[in-house]
Chains A and B, each alone.
Chain A
Amino acid sequence: MKVNPRDVWLWYRMEIRSALRERNIVLNSLLLPLLLYPAMLWLVLSGFTFVQGQTQGLTSRVMVTGDATAAEALTARLRENPKVETVSFDGGEQALDARIRAGDLDAVVAVRTDAGPGARAELVLPSALGSAQYVARYDASKDRSRLASDRVRKTIDDIRRDVLAGEAAARGIGLDSWQAFHVGTVDTASREDIGALVLKLLVPTILMVMVALGCFYPAIDTTAGERERNTWETALSVSASPGSIVTAKYLYVATFGAAAGLLNIATMVVSLGPILEQFARGAGDKASFAFPISAVPVTALGTVLVALFVAAGLMILAAFARTFKEGQSMASPFYLATILPIMLLQSPDLEFTPGLALIPVANVAMVIREAIAGTFNLPLIGLTALVGVIVVGVCLWIATRVLASEDVLAGGFNGSFFKFAAARLRPGASRDKGKHE
């Protein structure tokens, strides 16, 4: 396959210029990675916060049943919370459960003051509430009911604390001494570690999706789209060799894929930290979501490697299509196959092993994940790069075989890449009749 760098450059410039004038390509390959994801993230988090705020503002309708004195005491404590409304309904346990499921009631608290047959006499407290048993019934599938249960639990915890404090004071000891033992925990993770835990799951996935999306439209546009617009034969009749033209097209598609990824990284570096921190204000002191600058070089190199692979794969598949629509259906399975393994890597404890380093795209996602967490395993990074170079090499070899097939090149081949592979790429398959210089 003859490739002339001057012709490649001229054709590449023409493709880029054309693509930058195509609304769909600019939108999907450049604007989407640059703007939409931070915007979407902000919208989702805003929505989440809004819904959470709305839920917190709801009044909990709670019914207290059981021992009259204890129930009255608990009702009085619950009423101290302005967000709790105590209500009353007729019926047994099943009827009340049905009301909870129907949303007429948020929780029912049953109070028993007998300590039970196994209770030791010295542990049964004399106050009305001190030795009571509380059973709260609620519907975990309903936000409002879960919130009511939480509010009831908090009230009961407050009662327990007050009772224990009273009993401790009556015995002339401090509340701390009442505890048989204390359990304490110390979190050794830094703010950056906590932030990295979130970033390493989020960033590689979005990044790989962006690179694949960045390649998708240009790959189809420059192959199937070119056939649909009847410009492919125009291309074949100019002095530049098919090898030069396809090389230029390949570099153009990879450029858009890499640009989508790199723009996405830039956006994340600038905006991800502030956005996430804004919405994690409750844990604001516990986490830092800034994208680590030390991870940028590895992330950028990984992005380029994935772009080269995805561009080659998409172009090979779409080259067999005659229309843009056909190209989309032929290339979509590869697009999904590229993204799906990344989706499966969502376990935070997943280790980057040599086996994972052999899976294209997933290996780059793992390298980026490790880099965000501050780990740079050079042998595995090297293996990932090697695998990347090999798969790109295989794709280019397939591309040269496709290019050498006159019927595919001239649009006479009737079928997909898989038909072509079965007929011409398997060992012992017949070579194509026509050859192109």
Chain B
Amino acid sequence: MSDASVDVRELTKVYADDARGDVRAVDGISFTCRPGEVFGLLGANGAGKTTTLRMLSTVLAPSSGTATVAGFDIVTGAADVRRSIGFYSSSTALYPRLTARETLEFFARINHYPEAKVRGRVDEIVARFGMEPFAGARVDKLSSGQKQKVSIARTIAHDPPVLIFDEPTVALDVLAALDMRSVIGELRDAGKTVLFSTHVMSEAEKLCDRIAIIHEGRIHTTGTLESLRAATGLHYLEDIFVHHVRAARDGEAAGA
């Protein structure tokens, strides 16, 4: 059995679109992530990052291929997968009428964190994120930055081994984005697997242990920043990304 906490093999997602027919949003991608690793999916808008992460969080079912998260199959063990992950994206908002503390308690309980430890866990998270001043306030009364903290905090309320973050710093101001990066670093240090998508090159450079460049539903290369530099002879990730996207386009043109 693999020691990977995320193991993706030939994962494919095909949508039936009224106007365009079948659309292959994700086309046979494979990669693995290990505990204590930050793995970045780097791609432009529409590359297939969000669809991939939605499949891994079981929000969407794959059309073909397999994947396991924390050892559970995303199709046959979907409930176990969801219990083992914390999923955050721009479309995973908070329940506005709960307080910040109620939110954390609810997500810990609904994700089956041991009942006896819920209060202690929530206190710990409230302290870690500096949420004491607003822990009793309703979410809809919080500022954007405070909501962001609660959003991230609720993904780890049940202490999952795998965190899946879809573009976690998009729409954040500089300081909030810095906070987010700091949290991701801490999670890695705590032995968690962090799988996140981004189109911000500097973010991927700073945070990721390994990077997969995804374009039009396919992963074109995977490796550490150093290995990607060595393979292309380019220093900046932006140049490396453009190199791979162009190569993919040239390949398609030649194939056509």
Contact = CB atoms under 8 A, between A and B. Distances in A.
B82 A237 contact: yes
Interface in B19-68: 54, 57-61, 63
A385 B82 CA distance: 39
A233 B15 contact: no
Contacts of B91: 230, 233
A234 B94 contact: yes
A21 B87 CA distance: 27
Nearest to A241: B79
B109 interface: yes
- Most B C-beta atoms less than 10 A away, residue of A11, A22, A230, A414: A230
A230 B90 CA distance: 8
Contacts of B85: 237
B106 A14 contact: yes
A239 B16 contact: no
Nearest to A406: B61
Interface in A237-257: 237-241
A339 B76 CA distance: 44
B59 A410 contact: yes
B110 interface: yes
B110 A11 contact: yes
Contact of B97 (A2, A18, A435): A18
B83 interface: yes
B247 to A, nearest CB: 32
Contacts of B97: 17-19, 21-22
A406 B158 CA distance: 26
Nearest to B18: A414
A239 B16 CA distance: 28
Interface in B107-161: 107, 109-112, 138, 158
A127 B188 CA distance: 116
- Most B C-beta atoms less than 10 A away, residue of A18, A237, A412: A237
A240 B94 contact: no
A431 interface: no
A117 interface: no
Contact of B98 (A14, A412, A434): A14
B110 A237 contact: no
Contacts, number: 85
Interface in B87-111: 87, 89-98, 102, 106-107, 109-111
A7 interface: yes
Nearest to B15: A412
Question: Interface size bucket, B side?
Answer: 35 or more
Given A239-B79, A239-B111, A435 B93 contact: no
Contacts of A239: 79-80, 82-83, 110-112, 158
A437 B58 contact: yes
A433 interface: yes
A271 B151 CA distance: 48
Interface string A2-24: 10000100110010011101100
Nearest to B158: A239
A49 interface: no
Interface residues of A, number: 30
A231 interface: yes
A154 interface: no
Contacts of A79: none
Contacts of A229: 93, 95-96
B78 interface: yes
A7 B85 CA distance: 17
Contacts of B98: 14, 17-18
B79 A437 contact: yes
A436 interface: yes
A82 to B, nearest CB: 64
- Most B C-beta atoms less than 10 A away, residue of A21, A236, A239: A239
B111 A410 contact: no
A433 B16 contact: yes
B112 A237 contact: no
Contacts of A437: 58, 75-76, 78-79
A226 to B, nearest CB: 9
Contacts of A7: 110
Interface in A42-95: none
A347 B85 CA distance: 60
Contacts of A238: 82, 107, 110-111
A18 B83 contact: no
A234 B103 CA distance: 12
29 contacts: A10-B106, A10-B110, A17-B97, A18-B98, A22-B97, A229-B93, A229-B96, A230-B90, A230-B93, A231-B92, A231-B94, A233-B92, A236-B58, A237-B57, A237-B85, A238-B107, A239-B83, A239-B110, A239-B111, A240-B82, A240-B110, A241-B78, A406-B60, A410-B60, A433-B16, A433-B63, A434-B60, A435-B61, A437-B58
The 4 closest A-B pairs by CB, nearest first: A230-B93, A239-B83, A237-B87, A437-B78
Given A14-B95, A231-B95, A239-B80, 18 more contacts: A7-B110, A14-B110, A21-B97, A21-B138, A230-B90, A230-B93, A234-B94, A236-B58, A238-B82, A239-B79, A241-B78, A410-B59, A414-B18, A433-B14, A434-B60, A437-B58, A437-B75, A437-B79
